[in-house]
């Protein structure tokens, strides 16, 4: 077992992340501990393969805050643009008009830290703090990101299916496509998992503020519109920086 972990740390990480999250979901009949599968798997594999040094490296990537101020601006504004685009696109194809935020102004300020702690902090510490730096450099960013997106969609399977198959399909699609936007933030900030966490948290905060009032068919169409906006963002990212996204990492 120790030999397998040392030779295949990335595979071991994903096996553990799935096992811990799925196991907790079915044992506890809910997602209470689901987000912790990623970070727990990262800590276990980092310690098993590199000892304390591996844990320090993981922590360093998760706390990499010394990046250009524009990275913070993009990490906070991109999810707002994507979410608003989805809301108005949904209205344009016959859905309801975007709802207003009914909370107090200070409640809006609390949404971001609440959303970050709720899931992105634990999830992206594993996905970007541990996994992404270990993806093969003889593959392109596009292919590595696509593989990660598919694995993330699969990891979310119990949560997605709980909402029904009709919601799960656009949810899976959005998860895969949003991996490209999150990795765009991650790579653009010098592989800072912290910026990926902030981006993910801002996206979830928009969902909490505006998406929860949708249900039934309206919710399904909204998820498809969100998938469409993430697809547009993915195309723009790849087309405007083809060299970095389509060439092998080792050649950059």
What is the C-alpha to C-alpha distance for residues 121 and 68, in angstroms, rounded to an integer? 21
What is the C-alpha to C-alpha distance for residues 24 and 93, in angstroms, rounded to an integer? 39
pLDDT of residue 104: 67
CB 153 within 8 A of CB 175: yes
In order along its 252 residues, the chain shows pLDDT tens digits of 777 888 899 999 999 999 999 999 999 999 999 999 999 999 999 999 999 999 999 999 999 999 999 999 999 999 999 999 999 999 999 999 998 877 665 677 789 999 999 999 999 999 999 999 999 999 999 999 999 999 999 999 999 999 889 999 999 999 999 999 999 999 999 999 999 999 999 999 999 999 988 999 999 999 999 999 999 999 999 999 999 999 987 665
Beta bridge partners of residue 140, listed in sequence order:
248
- What does each C-alpha distance from 89 to 180, 196, 200, 220, 223 come to in angstroms? 21, 25, 21, 13, 11
The distance from CA 163 to its chain's CA centroid, rounded to whole angstroms, is: 19
pLDDT of residue 105: 58
pLDDT of residue 2: 72
How many residues can be counted in the chain?
A: 252
pLDDT of residue 101: 76
pLDDT of residue 27: 95
What is the C-alpha to C-alpha distance for residues 221 and 135, in angstroms, rounded to an integer? 34
Task: Specify the DSSP element, H or E, that contains 80.
Answer: helix 69-92
What is the C-alpha to C-alpha distance for residues 195 and 73, in angstroms, rounded to an integer? 10
């Amino acid at each position: 077992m120790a030999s397998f972990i040392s030779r295949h740390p990335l595979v071991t990480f994903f096996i553990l992340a799935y096992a811990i999250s799925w196991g907790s979901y079915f044992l506890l009949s809910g997602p209470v501990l689901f987000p912790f599968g990623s970070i727990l798997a990262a800590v276990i594999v980092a310690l098993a393969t590199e000892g304390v040094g591996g844990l320090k490296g993981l922590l360093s990537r998760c706390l990499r805050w010394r990046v250009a101020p524009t990275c913070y601006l993009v990490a906070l504004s991109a999810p707002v643009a994507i979410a608003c685009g989805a809301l108005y696109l949904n209205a344009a194809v016959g859905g309801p008009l975007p709802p207003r935020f009914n909370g107090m102004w200070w409640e809006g300020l609390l949404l971001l830290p609440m959303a970050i702690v709720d899931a992105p902090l634990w999830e992206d510490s594993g996905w970007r703090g541990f996994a992404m730096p270990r993806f093969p450099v003889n593959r392109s960013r596009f292919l590595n990101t696509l593989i990660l997106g598919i694995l993330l969609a699969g990891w979310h399977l119990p949560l997605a299916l709980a909402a029904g198959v009709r919601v799960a399909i656009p949810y899976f699609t959005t998860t895969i496509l949003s991996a490209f936007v999150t990795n765009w933030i991650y790579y653009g900030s010098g592989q800072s998992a912290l910026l990926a966490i902030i981006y993910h948290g801002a996206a979830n905060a928009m969902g909490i503020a505006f998406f929860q009032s949708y249900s039934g068919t309206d919710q399904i169409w909204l998820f498809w519109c969100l998938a469409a906006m993430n697809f547009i963002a993915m195309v723009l990212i790849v087309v405007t920086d083809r060299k970095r996204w389509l060439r092998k990492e080792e050649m950059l």
